[in-house]
Amino acid sequence: MTELSLTFLGTGTSQGVPVIGCNCEVCSSDDLKDKRLRSSVLIQSPKANVVIDCGPDFRQQMLRTSCSKLDAVVLTHEHMDHVAGLDDVRPFNFITRKDMPVYCTDRVLQRLKVQFSYAFAEDKYPGSPGFDPHLIKANEDFVVGDQSWKAILARHGTWPVMGYRINDVVYLTDVNGISDESMDHLIGSKVLIVSALRKETHVAHYALSEAIVMAKKSKIPQVYFTHFSHSMGLHAMESKALPKGMTFAHDGLKISLS
Ligand SMILES: [Zn+2]
Ligand SMILES: [Zn+2]
Ligand SMILES: [Zn+2]
């Protein structure tokens, strides 16, 4: 079995934790587990380092994990807290002298062409980021580095969002619904990472109780929650109330998947 690990680079929702200007007990907490950059994970195999999502904290995340090699970026959807850091792939462009492979749906690519129009321009300014887009489709397999990935379609309010299964791990963020067909692709997985925004309901994200229901339905034995806001409460306190096998992820947490 391949040696595979996953590191949580960020576990916060779109504003991160602490939130600018907020003095709540979570934003004021000294516990490093209450400090959450925008959500992203680094998946490392012997041959490839891949990030899922590339939000506004991407540069800081690469530096603090000493990640000096990146082979691909895989995107879940086009919200800025998941793509805003794409300009910062430039150091990797300069090291490899190649465009960065970016795996996403056509819908996401069309948005990137608007948000990062300068990077797709014919007369690119020297030093602009270089992207090498690879289109993926819902519920289909694709290969990144030396791993087979499956894109799993889920719902994010009125938007589609892609979750991913790599070996026995499933990463599903910014979701508030998943079809039975997509759920079938989760069968047999050992680790589920799923977003849970807060305790109160939201139009486009699972509340914690909804994420717990979905996780139980999946029957995946080890569950990590991610992408949550300061209103979820203190990590140390809230962790005690979770069902067995379920944990709040925190920035820097690294899990072995082999
Ligand atoms: Zn998000
Ligand atoms: Zn706060
Ligand atoms: Zn989103």
| CATH number of the structural domain spanning residue 115 | 3.60.15.10
User: What is Dmax (Cα atoms) for the chain?
Assistant: 55
How far is the centre of ligand 1, averaged over its atoms, from the C-alpha of 123 (Å)?
Answer: 32
Cα 221 to Cα 187, 188, 243, 244, 246, distances in angstroms: 11, 10, 11, 9, 8
How far is the centre of ligand 2, averaged over its atoms, from the C-alpha of 162 (Å)?
Answer: 29
Q: Which domain holds residue 150?
A: 5-256
State pLDDT tens for residues 117-169: 999 999 999 899 999 999 999 999 999 988 999 999 999 999 999 999 999 99
The pLDDT of residue 2 is 67
How far is the centre of ligand 1, averaged over its atoms, from the C-alpha of 244 (Å)?
Answer: 26
**CA distance from start to end of the chain:** 6
How far is the centre of ligand 3, averaged over its atoms, from the C-alpha of 175 (Å)?
Answer: 8
Least distant ligand from the CA of 38: 1
Structural domains in the chain (count) = 1
How far is the centre of ligand 2, averaged over its atoms, from the C-alpha of 174 (Å)?
Answer: 20
Can you say how many angstroms the Cα of residue 69 is from the centroid of all Cα atoms in its chain?
18
Residues with CB under 5 A from ligand 1 (ion): 81, 174
The pLDDT of residue 23 is 97
How far is the centre of ligand 3, averaged over its atoms, from the C-alpha of 104 (Å)?
Answer: 14
State pLDDT tens for residues 21-64: 999 999 999 999 999 999 999 999 999 999 999 999 999 999 99
Write the Ramachandran bin of 252: left for phi over 0, alpha for psi from -120 to 50, otherwise beta.
left
How far is the centre of ligand 1, averaged over its atoms, from the C-alpha of 175 (Å)?
Answer: 9
How far is the centre of ligand 1, averaged over its atoms, from the C-alpha of 195 (Å)?
Answer: 9
* pLDDT at 1 > cutoff 60: no
